[in-house]
Every structure is written in C-alpha cells, then in structure tokens.
Structure 1
Amino acid sequence: MDLLLGIDMGTGSTKGVLVDAAGTVLATETIAHSVDLPRPGWAEVDAENLWWREVCEVSGRLMAAMPDGGRLAAMCVSGVGPCLVLCDADLRPLRPAILYGIDTRATAEIDLLTEEFGRDAILDRAGTLLSSQAVGPKLEWVFRHEPEVFAAAAGWYGSNSYVAAKLTGEYVMDHHTASQCDPLYATRHFDWNRPWAERICRHLPLPRLVWPSEVVGTVRPEAAEATGVPVGTPVVAGAVDAYSEAFSVGVREPGDQMLMYGSTMFLVQVIDSYYSDPTLWTTVGVERGTLALAAGTSTAGSLIGWLQTVTGGAPFDELMADAAAVPPGSEGLLVLPYFAGERTPVFDPRARGVVAGLTLRHGRGHLFRAAYEGIAFGIRQILERFDDAHTGIRTVAVGGGLRSPVWAQAVSDVTGRAQLVPEQAIGASYGDALLAAIGAGLVPSDTDWAKISREIEPNPLTRNLYDDLYETWRELYPATRDQVHRLAGPTTP
C-alpha cells in the first residue's frame, strides 16, 4: 500500500499526517511550539532547533505508525511564510529565521527599496507593494544591520525550502513562495525578477524554481537517519502553509475563496488572470500556471485570547455563552481589531486597537462579540477588494477559530456570504500529502480529496444592521490614525 507523508510547520505547531492515495487518514501527530519575539516588531524561529527538529520528530512518529505492508511513496513539507532563513555552505542557519508579515523590523528598508525601484514599477512587476510581508526588505535589513551574517551566507531559504534542502541537499524554492518574496519575483511572468533579485541578493545565488507538486529530490542518508524516512523517498516541494491548506479543501478554481480562522485571519482567492491591487497580495497559486490573491490580518484569535486573559481567564465555552447572549451589533459597541498593527488592507504596523461606544452597561460578552464583529468587518473589507478581481463564488472556511459559533456566524452575517466547512479539518499537512501524491504520480493532478460537511448561512435579518455598522467601522481607522500613531511613539529603529 502506497502512503504519503505531509508535514506543516505552522506558527503555533508542527503537524503531520500519514494518508493513503485515496486521502484516508491513517495517523496524525502534532507538536506545539511558539515563535520568539526578542524585540518589539521582531518575530523569529530557530530554524534548525525548532523546524528541523520537529520535522524529524513528527516524521519518526508517523513512520513508526506505518501499517504492515505500507510503503512511503513520497513526502511534502509546507511552512509559514514568506520567511527568510540564511544559511552557510553547510546548511547551518546563521541567525534565527525572520518570519512573515508579523515581523515588522524592515520598515526603513521597505521605504528605501520602494524609492529605489519605484512604487508603480514594483506593483506592476511583483504584483504587490512592499510591506512587512515582503522578503526583499528583510534581506536588505540583514545586509545593512548584520553585514557579517550576510557575507557568510551561501544561500537563502523559506521555511519549507530549508527543510527540503535538509532532506535532499537541493537548493530550490517553489514558485508560490517565491512570488511572496517581493520584489524578487516577476509574478506576471512566473520567473525571478532578475535585475532586482540580483541587486538585493548580491552574492547569494537564486534558488532553482519548482512548482509545489514537483519532486525536488530524494531523501539523503543523513536525513533518513534523522527522520526515519527511507533513503531515496521522493520529496515534493510544497508551499506556504495557508496555500497548502486552501489546496487541501478544494480551493482550486477561479472565484474559490478560503477563509482561515486562526491567530490571524488569512484569505486566499484563486483568480483567472493577472490582477494587482495595492491593498492586497498578488501571488502565484499552488498549481502550475495559476494565480491568486491573498490577504491577512495581524490579529484574530490572538485578540480573543488576549481578551480572555485580561478579563480573568474564564473558560472559552463560558465566554462564548456570554457573547452569544449579546444581540448582533453588540448594542452600539465597535472594535477596530488592530491590536498588533494591521496588514491588509491598511498595511500599517503602527495602527492600534480602538474600542468605540463603550458604556457602563456593556459587559464582558459585549466586548467578545464586538471583537468578533470587528474582525468580521475587516474580512468584509478584504473580500470587497477580492471581488474587484473576480467575484467570489464559493467560500470555504477552515481553522481552529470555527469552534466559536459566534465568530463564524458573525463573518457570514457581516459579509452576506455562506461559508462551506469541510469534513477534513487537519489543515495544510493534508494538502501536503495530496501534493505528495500528485508529485509521486499516484493520483491525477486534478484529484480533490475535500468533502463539505456543513454550511454557515448568513442571517438576512441582520443585514441592514451590519451594513450600517460597517460604514461606521470603516470610518474609525482614518478618524483615529493620527492619534494612535502619536500614542505608538516613534518607529522602532
């Protein structure tokens, strides 16, 4: 029996799954972890001692669960991204990995590169303006602030391409991840934007580009010893984890959308032709030659967790009961959920949270419901921009946040869109297993393992209420931006 191994290195855990070629799950493993926040605006991970170690542990456990007669046909690893891992010639990380948009250290480099290359030219070539999500400014930051590290580097990687290199020795990057390494990749042309990439990378070679479902190499003896995966097992490239998760739940056709409920919200929509919007990210899709739009907030479940802590740490079910008892609209309370700055669509790391309309009659339940509604208003704002490229036809919801019925229902009510909830909720590692199956030639490239279990319908009775509140909510950020910037203090150097 041919089996597939999928592993995802997420923000809060590393998850693995062992499946057969029909998508049947045989075993799963999870290791929880956290990221390092050594300074304000910094978010890092020890690539070798966290990502690689956990991939080895998860692989070993799942290989031990291999049934009699089973044969591992291929494996695939995805991870958070876009990230920056700088390694020496022996693949030793020279500094902690710099994470995706939650790491905002490179603000000066964003401005420098935008001025050098031109805002309009960047939007035209890369499809996305430079922001804290971009890898190019982070490379420039290391060059300017840690020149000895940059000089010693022999290659640069994302989270999944670093692990692929550890497994196979191959220096590659998947097209999707590369398309998020702005402004190094020409999204319109599915290739490196070589003049800019060579300027920013300097002596560092550009990785060989591959598609997420391509086999990049096979497991080397030293990697086999560390992981328990047999020598010679094909390794498939993988992608950024949010896109692997979208792939796992059948978000494959133009107009398909994924809403990922997690510590932050992440949104993906497949589009049918090249389109760029300065408030969104234009990327390459998971499948060969496809394109997608993406967006991400800076808080979501993390805001709810913070509220849970500061209101006394009551059990989650109790808090949800409180929130459910509050009527839609939270009796005039609005929350701007920019408690960690904001990514799309405002791209403002110095944005701050705002609670508007608070009175003595509001209680804990009002705060929780208003926070969920504030997150939902942000989702509506993003989806309206998605519609400018390709009207959303089918919305699939995933992520741990779905265990809050208040949150999921608020998103449907505020956006007016039904959400399909898949039967299989394992996440990106399940998509990795499917990519491995496709890469190994076990299943056709159009194979879809996703099955929908339920649908969250919008409540038409709340539509007018939320339309009115949305207009007020949209006014909060521009009305308070200057004040919260002053409160935030000067930009961190």
Structure 2
Amino acid sequence: MNIIAIDIGTSNCKAVITGTDLKALKTFEYATTPITPRQGWNEQNAVTIFNAVVKLLQQSIRFCGEENIACVSFSAAMHSFLAVDKNGVPLINMITWADLRSAKYAQALEKKNLAKKLYKATGVPIHAMSPLCKLMWLKAEQKAIFRRAHKFISIKEYIFFKLFGKYIIDHSIAAATGLMDAKNICWYGEALRLADITKEQLSELKPVEHYETALLSPIKKKLKLKKEIPFVLGASDGALANLGCGIVNANNAAVTVGTSGAVRITSNKFLIDKKQRLFCYYIGDGAYITGGALNNGGIVLQWLVEKILKQPFRDEKQLDVLFKSAAAVKPGSNGLIFLPYILGERAPVWDENAKGCFIGLTETHTEAHIIRAALEGVCFAVVDVLLALEETSGNIKNIYLSGGILKSEVWVQLLADISGKKIMLNEAADASALGAAFIGRKALGNVKSLAAAKMFLQNVKTVKPSAANHRIYKKYFTVYNDLYGKLKNVFAELTAIN
C-alpha cells in the first residue's frame, strides 16, 4: 500500500509517494511562484495552489492505483493567511510568512509591552510573519475586507474546505499562528481580543492525525475515486521536517541551510526562552518543536555572487572556484565580519528592520575575504540560534545538517569549526513529505508515537571541527554577537529614512 504525501510550500507544491516502509517511490511537483507586487509584499493565489494540489492528487492516484492507496497526508508552510467570505471564496491573495506589511503592528505590540505576554502563552515571537499581526494589519488597512470576512484561515485549511466543505486546522499549523494557547491547546482569548475576532471566525482545532474521508462529490468525480480514502490533516513543514529527519528529542538538533535556514529540536516540554529568541510550536503527543528560522541562508551567497560579483549563481563549477578561494583565507577573514541580515531577520532577533553589513573592511581585503566572511556570517547566525537553544533546553550533542549547504565541503567545515560540534550529514530529501507520510501511518494506527520517527535518523558522514579554528572563531563570535544590539537603532533609522 502507498501513502501520498502532499507538501505545500511557498515556491512549489509536491506529491511524494511512499510505500508503507516510508521510502520515497515517486515525486510529482508544480512550481508556485510568489506574487511580489511591491517591496515587502509576498503573496500567492490560493485557487492556483488548490488547482496544483488537485493535479498532484490526480497524478498520484493514476500512479498508485486507487486500490493501492492507504491514505493521503499533508504538510504545509507555516504562517500563511487568507480571508474568505461565507462561500469560502478568497477575499485577498494568500499572504505568506515572508510578507512584511504587518511589521509596524508587530512593533506596536512590542511598544505596548504585550509581546512577552503573548509569547509566553503562544510560543510565537512577535513578528510580521505571524497571522496575529496580519489580522491587525487587515483590520486597520483593509477595513471593508476585514468586515466581509467569514473565516480567517491558512492555505491548508482552504484546501480541506475545498475538498470536504469543513473548516479544520491541525494543532501544528494553529500553534504557529500566534492565536493558540500552546499549553492548553485551544484558541487564546487575549490574542483573539487584540485581533478583534471570535473563535467562530477560525477553524476547528484537530490533532495532526485527524482525517476525513467524505470528499465533496465534484472533487471525488474529478479525482475519479470510487472508494473512501483517509485524507490526514498532517502538520506544518517545519515540524514534519524534524520528524522526517528523525529528530525526536532535545539531544539532537536538525539544522537546515538552503535558501533560508532553520535550527530545531523536538522536546516533551513547552520551552520558553526568556529573551524571546525562539519559537515553540506544539505538534502532538505532548511534543513541541523548538528552535528558530533564519531568513538568510544560501540567499546571502546568491546575492553576493549575482549582485556584487556579477557572476551566474547556478554555475556550480564557478561556485566551486569561489569556495576554493574562500578556503584559502584564514579563519576570521582577516578581521572582516559579515552580519548577514540582508532580508531582515527572524531568529534570534525577530526584526524586520535588521540589515546586512560588513564590519572591519580595509584595503587589505579581497574578493576571497568577502566571500569567506559571508559564509562565516551565515554560520555565525546558525550558531547564534544553537546557543539560544542550549541556554533554553540544555546541551545539544549532535547536529544533523541538511540542505544546499551540503554541496560545499568548505561551508560545512566552517559550520563545524564555528560551532565546535561534530556535524552529521543528513541527506534525507523531502523530509517534510516523509514526515507527513509518517503522520499518515500514525493516523492509520501503524505506529504508536512520534518517537518512532527516529527510524529516519541517518548519518551519511561526520565532519569534525578543528579545535584550533574553533578557538579563533570563539573570539570573532563574541564580536559578532554584539553587533546587532549596537546597530539595532541604526537599522531602524535607515528604514525610516528610506
């Protein structure tokens, strides 16, 4: 029997078909290009995404054969936001996590000293990514739409409404909205009051294993299904990526560096960081995903190569040349430090106004120094979140690394040297989809607990840090760690001027 895992991302939607052993057999994919009409705006067309999901389901059903499908299970990006009318028709484009229009409303919550109270209750740092802040923006700046809205939902809720005619949301996606009480697993009254909505305007909360079988008749006909198949709600992409990598306790951390980045652990405690640097999202079985998401991963290298060096970023041979030139530079780039916040930043600073900058630039620095400083800067940012996690949850023994960073041995070694930890290379592709397939099996009663996801844990290769380089980097990290605090007000002033 097969499981169809649907992964709804911000750049593409994919279907990963697995066997009951959860090994991928086939992948189908559709690009879903974000709509960016203005700087700071990031939207998607909900109808287009739903149509892509239907096409993926059609392809997957044809590939498997209806009689061989055990279930369909879903993964989706966090923080998406959509307002719909009484008929479920979108009133706006779906707003993604990357949209910054609600930044001033997030900052207003900070100024009113409400951020800490909200964070302690929900586990969601106050930031423009949060649907809570998006609701406040919509009410203030799109009053007519706010009044017309029947429901405020995420993209996965929209898809389930279109499939089943019901508004339901899994605990994991709800946990990332800033609207859910993370301890009591219910909608949080204070957040709803600030957003000026009622719980009736939100979906019904359900466990990640919840499934529906009664497809609406037109959809069932479109998919050419005769029997009822369980459609499992699943969870958020971040939570499922942890499961798909086998990270099921706080001793191991999953680190991903692709275009952006993330550092996450799984814990059986609701972990709140006193400095509000980390998120803590409930997934199920008393487990929480704690960590931080970074805006600036490989996008920093792409920016540097394309915009500054004026070279093609997709040319892997040329990138190898750049990495080799960076490898020839001594640790610390001859006193050059790069703060990599070119897209603002989420963890650990949660500041839309944050900016990138080179500190320590002199006439002795070359292109190679600048490249190495940029690579080191991204690693410093990852380690910044790792240290916040260790302060909050205790020592992290192992780092399981995945993402595009694995293509560069130089960059992986830098992360090992700067963190001072052994790096386990985890080449699990489509970890979120595999996590969704795992939840599918759990929904069917084939596995008893989330802890069984440790089956996915793999270590293709171990990269050890250089003790000598780590001693050097500890000194540079002390300087790096002070930079944002010293420049925060400067960044805000530059934003105001610009």
> Shared fold by TM > 0.5?
yes
In structure 2, runs of 5+ residues without a counterpart are none
1:436 paired to 2:455: no
The separation in 2 between residues aligned to 1:256 and 1:21, in whole angstroms, is 26
Worse overlay, 112-121 or 426-435: 112-121
Alpha carbons 2:5, 2:72 under 8 Å: kept: yes
Of 457, 462, 466 in structure 2, the residue corresponding to residue 455 of structure 1 is: 462
In structure 2, the CA distance between the partners of 1:377 and 1:423, relative to structure 1 (3 Å rule), is closer
Contact 1:257/1:394 (8 A) holds in 2:
yes
Alpha-carbon distance in 2 for matches of 1:213, 1:145: 37
- Identify the residue that residue 371 of structure 2 maps to in structure 1: 368
Q: Distance in 2 between matches of 1:122 and 1:444?
A: 33
Out of 185, 193, 197, the residue aligned to residue 202 of structure 1 is: 197
1:337-352, aligned counterparts within 5 Å? 337-352=340-355
Label 1:75 to 1:490 Cα distance change in 2 as closer, same or farther (>3 A).
farther
Given the alignment, which residue of 67, 70, 73 partners 2:70?
Answer: 73
Q: Which residue of 2 aligns with 1:88?
A: 85
Deviates more, 1:159-168 or 1:348-357: 159-168
* Residue 488 of structure 1: aligned partner: 495
Shift, 1:188, TM fit: 2.0
Using a 3 Å threshold, how does the CA distance of structure 1 residues 11 and 275 change in structure 2: closer, same or farther? same
Query: CA 1:221–1:389 in structure 2 vs 1: closer, same or farther (change >3 Å)?
Result: same
Secondary structure at the aligned position of 1:366 is classed as helix
Change (3 A) 1:115 1:295: same
- Which residue identity does 1:488 align to in structure 2? T
After alignment, is 51-60 or 428-437 more displaced? Answer: 51-60
Identify the residue that residue 17 of structure 1 maps to in structure 2.
16
What is the alpha-carbon distance in structure 2 between the residues aligned to residue 137 and residue 208 of structure 1? 21
TM-score (norm 1): 0.91
Offset, 1:426:
2.1
Which residue of 238, 249, 252 corresponds with 1:242?
238
47 and 434 in structure 1: CA distance in 2 versus 1, 3 angstrom threshold: same
Kindly report the root-mean-square deviation, in angstroms, between the aligned alpha carbons of the 2 structures: 2.4
Measure how far apart 1:248 and its partner are: 0.6
Alpha-carbon distance between aligned partners in 2 of 1:114 and 1:470, rounded to the nearest angstrom:
28
1:211-236: CA deviation from partner (whole Å, max 9, x where unpaired):
22222454333333445666522111
Deviation at 1:70, TM superposition (A): 5.3
What pairs up with 1:299-318 in 2 under 5 angstroms? 299-310=296-307, 311-314=309-312, 315-318=315-318
The amino acid across from 1:52 in the alignment is F
Seen in structure 2, the aligned counterparts of structure 1 residues 232 and 489 have a Cα distance that, compared at 3 Å, is: same
Paired residue type of 1:253: N
TM-score, normalised with respect to structure 2: 0.90
Cα distance in structure 2, aligned partners of 1:361 and 1:319: 23
Q: 1:176 — aligned with what?
A: 172
- The CA distance in 2 between the partners of 1:226 and 1:412, in whole Å, is 50
Offset from partner CA, 1:309-350 (integer Å, 9 cap, x none): 121224233223322333332233221101111111112211
User: Structure 2: how far apart are the matches of 1:316 and 1:488?
Assistant: 35
Match of 2:59 in 1: 61
Structure 1 unaligned segments of length 5 or more: list them.
none
Q: Secondary structure at the match of 2:386?
A: helix
1:418 paired residue among 413, 422, 433: 422
Q: Which whole-Å CA distance do the structure 2 matches of 1:342 and 1:229 have between them? A: 45
Which one-letter code corresponds to 1:138 in the other structure?
A: K
Q: 1:75: Cα distance to partner?
A: 0.9
Q: Do 1:323 and 1:366's aligned partners in 2 also have CA atoms closer than 8 Å?
A: no
Residue of 273, 290, 293 corresponding to 2:290? 293
Quote the residue 2:102 is aligned against.
106
**Identity rate, percent:** 22
Is 2:319 the partner of 1:319? yes
User: CA separation of 1:196/1:348 partners in 2, compared to 1, >3 Å: closer, same or farther?
Assistant: closer
Contact 1:125 1:187 in 2 (8 A): yes
The alpha-carbon deviation at position 442 of structure 1 amounts to: 3.4
SS in 1 for 2:15: strand
**Is 1:193 aligned with 2:188?**
yes
Change in Cα spacing, 1:35 to 1:227, as seen in structure 2 (3 Å) is farther
Alpha-carbon distance in 1 for matches of 2:488, 2:111: 24
Query: C-alpha distance in 2, partners of 1:148/1:358?
Result: 51
The answer to whether the 8 Å contact 1:258/1:268 transfers is yes
Aligned equivalent of 2:261: 265
Contact 2:270 2:280 in 1 (8 A): no
- How far 1:117 moved relative to its partner? 7.7
* C-alpha contact 2:7 2:76 (8 A) present in aligned 1: yes
Q: How many residues align?
A: 486
CA distance change for structure 1 residues 409 and 12 in 2, over 3 Å: closer, same or farther?
farther
Q: Decide whether aligned partners of structure 1 residues 483 and 140 sit closer, same or farther in structure 2, where only a CA change above 3 A counts.
A: closer
Shift of 1:353: 0.8
Aligned equivalents of 1:480, 1:119: Cα separation in 2: 21
2:456 maps to a residue whose letter is A
- 8 Å CA contact 2:277, 2:349 repeated in 1: no
The answer on whether the counterparts of 1:218 and 1:231 sit within 8 Å (CA) in structure 2 is no
Q: What are the residue-to-residue correspondences of 1:93-172 with 2, within 5 Å?
A: 93-100=90-97, 102-113=98-109, 118-172=114-168
Read off the aligned partner of 2:63 and give its amino acid letter: A
Q: 1:313 to 1:61 in 2, by over 3 A?
A: farther
Q: For residue 274 of structure 1, what is the aligned residue in structure 2?
A: 270
Q: Which amino acid aligns with 1:189?
A: N
**CA distance 1:237–1:465, change in 2 (3 Å):** same
Is the partner of 1:188 in helix, strand or coil?
coil
Secondary structure of the residue aligned to 2:88 is: coil
CA contact (8 A) 1:219 1:231 kept: no
